[in-house]
Amino acid sequence: MNKLKTNHNTWSDDEDDDLSNEISVAEGLTNLPKLPEELIEGIVRVGHKMLISGASKAGKSFLLMELTIALSEGLKWLGFQCRKSKVLYINLEIDPNSIYHRFFEIYRAMKIKPLHSNNVSIWNLRGYAMPLDKLAPILIRRVANKDFDVIIIDPIYKVITGDENNASDMGYFTNQFDKICLETGCTVIFSHHHSKGSQGLKRAMDRASGSGVFARDPDAQIDMIQLDISEVFLAQNADNESSTAWRLESSLREFPNFKPVNFWFEYPIHRIDDKDILKQKYADGDPRANLEKSGKRKQTPESRKEVFDVAFNACKAGEDYCTTDELSNYLGIGIRTIQKRVVEFEDDYLISKGNVYRKETIHKTKKGS
């Protein structure tokens, strides 16, 4: 039975429940705890969780292997500085012999020497996969006293426990990642595929297959989506005709969302679009891409509204509003044009102090207050 200690303003149990003690805000502010170090600068901290989502066969494993190398060598990954770390890569999908060849090809394409490749260990579990609630205790025992900093699980559909569309099942499943982080002190990074169908109209955090728990649970969700480019554009701008164009977007808990990163996948590695030639390209399924293909120079009021709705949903990232700067960057138009759009769509939107709000959200907030 819980009792209130009148002299300390805290609760205590008659019996030890193995849970942490509560701490008052006053004590927390007086003895401000130190934040964990950043594992990937501006994205995720040591001991936290990160999800990389993308379409099936989108090259997520190649991206994770590049990240593994960047972490082991203390290099940048898609422009983000990585803390030099010891990594355990759990391979659940690729043939064990093939994965070493992939790493060899990636090192060669990145033009770096594997000076600290001993910082990477691969645990090949293809053919031995099991539900994560069974694998987690084995994993925790395996990494004990081996000084790993990062555990990468690729991909998680091989170890999912329960129905991925059931929020309760997925709550139990994602709790296993918390347990691994807590028991090992490692950052856990895992990959998952997009849901079926077009993803261009969705926010980055809504593209992963299954329950929304996948998007809400990680401390950092990084999503990669393919850009819609023509064969002519590819021939004029890519290094080879087999290249594909991509955009990396974020939904972050500990940091502000970063500006989307555009890049090429030139087998076997990804290269940042440092010339910004992909900046004005749109994701597959985005109505703006269809408009561009149609050759129309002017949008209709309906298409402008559809595009503005997509931009607002993408930029608000779970908040009730987004800034005019964010909308301007996303749409590639000036702030004055954003202001004109809000006036045009005044039945649904309003602007105040540089922030754009949905009127529907404001009305709901007032009713609930």
Domain shared by 311 and 275, yes or no = no
Query: Which of the four pLDDT bands, split at 50, 70 and 90, describes residue 152?
Result: very high
- For position 286, what pLDDT does the model report? 72
**First CA to last CA across the chain, in angstroms?**
34
Are 269 and 303 within one domain?
no
Assigned domain for 290 exists: no
Residue 16's pLDDT is: 66
Q: Are residues 273 and 350 in the same domain?
A: no
Higher pLDDT, 167 or 83: 83
Percent of the chain with pLDDT over 70: 84
Q: What are phi and psi of 6, to 5 degrees?
A: -65, -20
Do the bridges between strand 187-193 and strand 150-154 make them parallel or antiparallel, or are there none, so unpaired? parallel
**Residues 254 and 312 reside in one and the same domain:** no
Quick one: average pLDDT of 344-363?
Answer: 88
User: Does 183 lie in the same domain as 58?
Assistant: yes
Asked whether residue 293 is domain-assigned, the answer is no
CATH number where 154 lies: 3.40.50.300
Q: What is the pLDDT of residue 230?
A: 85
Q: How confident is the model at residue 2 (pLDDT cuts 50, 70, 90)?
A: very low
Residue 128 has pLDDT above 80, yes or no: yes
**Residues 92-116, mean pLDDT to the nearest whole number:** 96
What is the number of residues in the chain? Answer: 369
pTM listed for this prediction: 0.76
Q: What is the total count of domains within the chain?
A: 2
Kindly tell me if the per-residue pLDDT of 174 is higher than 70: yes
Flag whether pLDDT at 340 surpasses 80: yes
CB within 8 Å of 186: residues ≥ 6 apart? 47, 88, 143, 148, 149, 150, 151, 180
CA quadruple 306, 311, 317, 323: dihedral, nearest 10? -120
- 13 in a structural domain: no
For the record, the structure tokens of 363 come out as: 């009305």
Please spell the DSSP secondary structure of 203-261, one letter per residue.
-GGG-BSS-THHHHSSSEEEEEEEEE--HHHHHHHSSSTT-EEEEEEEEESSSPPPPPE
6 falls within a domain: no
* Rounded distance between C-alpha atoms, residue 313 and residue 368, angstroms: 22
CA distances from 132 to 64, 84, 153, 194, 212 (A): 20, 27, 10, 20, 19
Q: Which of 52-66, 86-100, 202-216, 317-331 shows the lowest mean pLDDT across its residues?
A: 202-216
- Could you say which of 283, 307, 331 is where a domain stops? 283
Domain limits for position 207: 38-283
> Looking at residue 320, what is its pLDDT?
81
Our separate counts of H helices and E strands in the chain read 12, 19
CA distance 293 to 267: 27
Query: If you average pLDDT over residues 203-225, what whole number do you get?
Result: 76
Where is the domain boundary, 283, 314, 347? Answer: 283
Sequence-separated (6 or more) residues with CB below 8 Å from residue 362:
320, 350
Residues 92 and 197 in one domain: yes
pLDDT higher than threshold 90 for residue 114: yes
Q: Kindly state whether residue 103 falls inside one of the protein's structural domains.
A: yes
User: Of 7-16, 81-90, 224-233, where does mean pLDDT reach its minimum?
Assistant: 7-16
* Residue 105: per-residue pLDDT: 97
Same domain, 279 and 308: no
149 within 8 A of 86, measured Cβ to Cβ: yes
For residue 49, the model assigns a pLDDT of: 97
Who wins on pLDDT, 154 or 4? 154
Tell me whether residue 363 is in a domain. Answer: yes
